[in-house]
Amino acid sequence: MPESTQPGPMDRILFGDNQFFGVNHMSEEKARAQAMRFQDTAAVIDVLNDAYAEGIRTFMCTTHERIAEVCEHVRAHPGKYREFKFYPCMPYAHKYANAAAELGVLGAIRSFLPQENALGALLKGGMSLARKDLEGLATLLVDAEMKMFAGLSTPIVFLQNVAVDFLLGLGFDEAFRIFADCVRERYQAEAGFITMNAPRLLARLEKVGIANPIICTNINKIGFRMCGGIPAYEELIASGRCRLIAMSVFASGALAPKEALEYICRQPRIESIVFGASSRRNIAQTCGLIQQLSAA
């Protein structure tokens, strides 16, 4: 189980992992090229070393199976990565989608859980919606996802937007409370939530008693993938009712770095900025701009 980590202030700059797994929302060609480049985990570690050398100490990553290899490397070199933190983001949707296609929904869930568990009979007989059953299932799934981070610092654990926005659509707000309680009680971590609709999510989180939540969401000058529109987001930012992490700040390359970051850094209540890059030059440029514009 990961070490106990008391939640604290988030770093201003976080490093993401989209580039490592062929995710690019504007260019399939670029996505394929990145996926080919990072087939070898050593290439991923080289870029993380570049980010660390530029002063980045937090890696916000999915629970892709290859992240387990990164975790192994960090555990094997504790002196080198003394200040390194992981922000796990779960579930990794493709992993579950592939398993569901092959094994069915309940079969997929079983495949990611320990062989012997208290919910074995539940899964064999069909899933109940009783809260205690859902809490037990959530705990087992979170434990399965967190296993790769054993012994590492994980002060915030995120629920991915594929799950958050699905739950928003269902109106199943209590699931957010269950997730938050689970990561706090089992990992002494804060829950974070990734979404494409931050204004709606904040209202739902407050409804189930999650005050001042950590929300990671698209924030950029042109409203790229910002459900509800820029005015709603600017009102949310100004309200100070949540701790915001801005992602997709460059709108997948539609904005020049300085133009994009000038807009983000003018918003005084955005606590952190997450970005991905695949060269030390681009990492250094982005870090330098954020530091310069944040101090202005």
Kindly state the tokens that stand for 248. 């997709």
- 3-class SS at 125? helix
Kindly state the tokens that stand for 177. 């409370």
- Rounded distance, CA 272 to CA 148, Å? 25
Nearest by Cα to 191 from 169, 165, 218, 164: 164
DSSP string, 142-163: HHHHHGGGTTS--SEEEEPHHH
- The answer to whether 123 and 134 are in contact (CB under 8 A) is no
What does each of the 296 residues of the chain score in pLDDT, given as a tens digit? Answer: 444 344 579 999 999 999 998 765 555 676 566 668 889 999 999 999 999 999 999 999 999 989 999 999 999 999 999 999 999 999 987 676 666 678 776 676 666 665 545 445 444 444 445 566 778 888 888 998 999 999 999 999 999 999 999 999 999 999 999 999 999 999 999 999 999 999 999 999 999 999 999 999 999 999 999 999 999 999 999 999 999 999 999 998 899 999 999 999 999 899 999 999 999 999 999 999 999 999 98
- Rounded distance, CA 250 to CA 263, Å? 10
Type and span of the H or E element at 60: strand 58-62
Give the model's pLDDT for residue 296. Answer: 80
All structural domains of the chain = 13-295 (3.20.20.100)
The CA-CA-CA angle for residues 289, 293, 296, to 5°, reads: 150
The CA-CA-CA angle for residues 164, 294, 195, to 5°, reads: 5
Kindly state the tokens that stand for 63. 């629970």
131 burial (CB, 10 Å; 0-12 / 13-18 / 19+) is exposed
With a CB cutoff of 8 Å and minimum separation 6, the contacts of 276 are 15, 16, 17, 18, 19, 20
Kindly state the tokens that stand for 15. 């490093």
- The answer to whether 57 and 85 are in contact (CB under 8 A) is yes
Kindly state the tokens that stand for 77. 């070199």
